[in-house]
Structure 1
Amino acid sequence: MHRRSALALGLVAALSLSACASKGDRPKSDLAASRVTTIGVNSYLWRASLDTLSFMPLVQTDSNGGVIVTDWYVNPQTPTERMKVTVTILDQDLRADAVRVAALREINRGGQWVASPVQAATTQKLEDLILTRARDLRRSSIAG
Structure 2
Amino acid sequence: MTRRGKFALAGGCCLALLLAGCESDMSSNSTFPTSSRGQVYQTGNAPDDTIFGKGGLFGGDEKDLQDGLGGGGGGLGVNAYLWRASLDTLSFMPLSSADPFGGVIITDWYSSPDSPNERFKVTVYILDRRLRADGIRVTAFKQNLDTANQWIAVPLAPKVTADLENAILSRARGLRVAREGE
- TM-score, normalization by structure 2: 0.60
- 2:71 aligned with 1:35: yes
Of the structure 1 ranges 72-81 and 50-59, higher mean CA displacement relative to structure 2 is found in 72-81
Q: Deviations over 1:40-82 (max 9, x none)?
A: 0000000000000001000000000000000000012221110
Q: 3-state DSSP class of the match of 1:94?
A: coil
| Residue 142 of structure 1: aligned partner | 180
Match of 1:74 in 2: 111
Letter in 1 for 2:93: M
Moved over 4 A (4+): 31-34
Larger relative contact order, structure 1 or 2 (CA cutoff 8 Å, min sep 6) = 1
- One of 145, 149, 152 as aligned partner of 1:114: 152
**TM-aligned CA distance change 1:73 to 1:103, over 3 Å:** same
- Equivalent residue of 1:91, what SS? coil
1:97-120 deviations in whole A, cap 9, x for unaligned? 000000111000021100110110
- Counting aligned pairs with the same residue, the percent is 52
Unaligned runs of 5+ in 1: 1-30
Aligned length in residues? 114
Give the superposition deviation at 1:36.
5.0
Which protein has the bigger strand share?
1
- Tell me the distance in 1 between the aligned counterparts of 2:72 and 2:99: 17
Instruction: Supply the distance in 1 between the matched residues of 2:118 and 2:108 (Cα, whole angstroms).
Output: 13
Partner of 2:165: 127
Aligned to 2:82: 45
SS at match of 2:86: helix
Out of 76, 95, 103, the residue aligned to residue 140 of structure 2 is: 103
SS in 2 for 1:136: helix
Residue range with higher mean Cα deviation, 31-40 or 41-50: 31-40
SS of corresponding position for 1:133: helix
**Larger Cα-atom Rg:** 2
1:115 and 1:131 mapped to 2: Cα distance?
27
Q: Distance in 2 between matches of 1:119 and 1:140?
A: 33
Distance, in Å, in 1 between the alignment partners of 2:95 and 2:116 is 19
Map residues 3-18 of structure 1 onto 2, 5 A cutoff: none
**Partner Cα separation in structure 1 for residue 144 and residue 72 of structure 2:** 40
What is the TM-score normalised by the length of structure 1? Answer: 0.76
SS of the residue aligned with 1:79?
strand
